[in-house]
A and B are shown apart, each in its own frame.
Chain A
Amino acid sequence: MPSSTANPKASPPQIIIKKTTLDDLIQALQREGYQVIGPVLEQEAIVYRPVTQLKDLALGWIDVQEAGSYRLERDEAQRFFAFTVGPQSWKAYLFPPREEIWKARRENGRILMEEPETPPRLAFLGVRACELAAIHVQDRIFLQGPYVQPRYARRREAVFIIAVQCTRAGNTCFCVSMGTGPHVREGYDLALTELEDTFLVHIGSEKGAALMAEIPHREATQEEVAEATRRVDAAAASMGRTMDTTELPELMRQSLESPHWEEVGKRCLACANCTLVCPTCFCFTLEDVTDLTGQEAVRVRLWDSCFNQEFTYTAGRPIRVSIASRYRQWLTHKLGWWVEQFGVLGCVGCGRCITWCPVGIDLTAEVQTLRHMYGRASSPATVSR
């Protein structure tokens, strides 16, 4: 193999590892005390679960996604990361669906408070560009401003991120429209691009560099770097969906009284699936659980959703009774008020809400319809369904 002529000081070092060397990486992370979470095949889908070796990863699968449908097919090329994003996001690990906040116990007439266990240090293997963007959105929600979520902060600080560049786009993907991908640009420790028999590795942090020092590798050739870029460019050119983001908050404001919400409300199930698969949605509820004997109480934080009527209870009654009003709340928050609140759109273009909606409601189509109705279409819009 010819050695690279690239000057490591001029640009971030780019190196090559054999595909099987990914196992060394997993082992090295575990020696460092990380629990590694990666994509595995489970329940006929690609989900993020703890892995301990390369063999645990879902090898050789492609996902075929459409509005309301997800199927896996064999990948003839036997790639590790040919699939795009699945039903689950990394949110499940940084902001778990159910988490004990505190526990209290009566003992000898006193009440003893117990802190929950310290969360484990996690290493995420296979974070896509849209998912990195989503993590940064949740960072703004949970870490900025006067109210910091301490358990999110502890998890987030400890996490080691191995990003993966998408070399294939799904039918419900639109990260290019949202400016979040598919090229991974920042916020990772290591970033992999899958080539024929190797991975090109970008080092994104000192932690990443230190880890790679333990792993057999060589410098990448210019051809390899160019090939990796070509592969990600190909993914960028094959996005299944697009969304015109021009003045989205303004469009949401203009659409508030639109009859279109009632039309969506007839299709929407208010089942909350879109918000739970969304990597940025953060609604939660707190429950105080007491046992029968009254000796123990636990405060639990649970994922909730703006689509649940009970979530809209204010002063003793629900304020968003119709499904239409809840869909409007979700979309106008995500694509409108979110910007005022957090300085960024709430959508990263991963397409999960489209794929995992049981009735296939597609926000890109709904936005296009609203643009058509309010005369802000950048291209001739067709009213869907």
Chain B
Amino acid sequence: MAKGTRKPKLAVWKFTSCDGCQLTLLDLEEHLLAIADRVDIAYFLEASRATVRGPYDISLVEGSISTPHEEELIRKVRKQSRFLVAIGACATAGGIQALRNFAHVRDFIQLVYAHPEYIRTLAQVRPIADVVPVDFELRGCPISREQLLELLSAYLHGRRPRIPRHSVCMECKRRGTVCIMVARGVPCLGPVTQAGCNALCPSYARGCFGCFGPMDSANPLSLGRRLEDLGLSREDIVRVYRTFNAYASAFREGSETYEQVRGHTRH
């Protein structure tokens, strides 16, 4: 940052979420001083209650839009933000709370709350980009430290962030992890999931859970047939596609197809 120029103002916003993605910003420990040196952290309630009024140059938005109040608030955030980045599975795909989109939210409310009449919520949970225009999305549950740092570096240097949209398999192969599905028969969502975690779970011989959502040309039905061969029931397959990114279109297509064919014979 050249002397005399104003530092870009950064804001961090929370909607329906667990705070894990904004925590990733604090988790950039060794880079925090460099970030604070180049960016004015103007609004970040998880780090400080001291806030600076907008407008903001860059807004990181965590969480999904789940209530009428959040619908209004995100529009205000959009108006105050030059560059708006949705961060994490909730903000980019609705998160785990989007499971309500496959059911009736009223049924949940009746079950959970003693006074359901006090609850104001939307029937459908929506990702940020469904409500306001979004300039960039960082996937993940939670987002990756490295990708957040890359996003900030790219923003500061005026270049496009390097956030690939290919499979997790690319990361397994580049780091030398042997395919656990082929070599051990472990069910894995890696072949339909966007990279970004450096293939963390497969490197511990665990199947990919799909935290980063569907890759850019995911084929959830072909993988589903393979998962059946590996012993998963159709109900299991509905469940593996319905976790953190359940409402992302390719995973939704996967789970809805397997829900429809439930009880019917394959082929």
Residues of A within 8 A of B (CB): 42-45, 47, 68-71, 86-88, 92, 97-98, 266-273, 276-277, 287, 289-294, 302-303, 305, 308-310, 321-323, 355-356, 358-360
Contact A358 B166 (CB under 8 A): no
Contact B178 A266 (CB under 8 A): no
- B164 contacts A by Cβ under 8 Å: yes
CA distance A118 to B152 in the complex (A): 33
Given contacts A42-B178, A290-B157, contact A273 B226 (CB under 8 A): no
Q: Which residue of A lies closest to B190 (CB)?
A: A271
Q: Which residue of B lies closest to A308 (CB)?
A: B166
List A contacts of B169 (CB < 8 A). Answer: 271-273, 276, 358
Contact B191 A269 (CB under 8 A): yes
Q: 17 interchain pairs (CB within 8 A)? A: A45-B183, A87-B179, A88-B176, A92-B176, A97-B176, A267-B219, A270-B167, A271-B167, A276-B169, A276-B174, A287-B162, A293-B38, A309-B166, A310-B164, A356-B179, A358-B179, A358-B188
CA distance A310 to B152 in the complex (A): 22
Q: Which residue of A lies closest to B203 (CB)?
A: A43
Main secondary structure of the interface of B (DSSP, over half): helix
List A contacts of B38 (CB < 8 A). Answer: 292-293
Nearest CB of chain A from residue B192's CB, rounded to whole Å:
7
List A contacts of B35 (CB < 8 A). Answer: 292
Contact A292 B152 (CB under 8 A): yes
Contact A97 B182 (CB under 8 A): no
**Chain B residues bordering chain A, tally (CB within 8 A):** 45
Nearest CB of chain A from residue B131's CB, rounded to whole Å:
27
Contact B34 A358 (CB under 8 A): no
Nearest CB of chain A from residue B166's CB, rounded to whole Å:
4
Nearest CB of chain A from residue B120's CB, rounded to whole Å:
41
CA distance A123 to B215 in the complex (A): 38
Instruction: Give how many A-B residue pairs fall within 8 Å (CB-CB).
Output: 131
CA distance A98 to B174 in the complex (A): 7
Determine which residue in B149, B166, B217, B226 has the highest number of CB atoms from chain A within 10 A of its CB, and name it.
B217
Contact of A310 among B173, B174, B192, B216 (CB under 8 A): B216
Contact B184 A44 (CB under 8 A): yes
- B138 contacts A by Cβ under 8 Å: no
CA distance A88 to B172 in the complex (A): 12
Given contacts A273-B191, A290-B157, A359-B225, contact A47 B178 (CB under 8 A): yes
Given contacts A44-B178, A292-B34, A302-B174, contact A269 B192 (CB under 8 A): yes
List B contacts of A292 (CB < 8 A). Answer: 31, 34-35, 38, 149, 152-153, 156
CA distance A92 to B184 in the complex (A): 22
Contact A305 B217 (CB under 8 A): no
- B100 contacts A by Cβ under 8 Å: no
Contact of B182 among A289, A293, A308, A356 (CB under 8 A): A356
List A contacts of B183 (CB < 8 A). Answer: 43-45, 70-71, 87
Nearest CB of chain A from residue B152's CB, rounded to whole Å:
7
CA distance A98 to B198 in the complex (A): 13
A43-B180, A269-B219, A276-B173 given. 13 additional CB < 8 A pairs?
Answer: A71-B183, A88-B178, A97-B173, A97-B174, A266-B219, A276-B169, A291-B153, A294-B157, A308-B165, A308-B166, A323-B217, A356-B179, A358-B188
Nearest CB of chain A from residue B153's CB, rounded to whole Å:
5
Q: Which residue of B lies closest to A98 (CB)?
A: B174
CA distance A321 to B216 in the complex (A): 10
CA distance A309 to B205 in the complex (A): 27
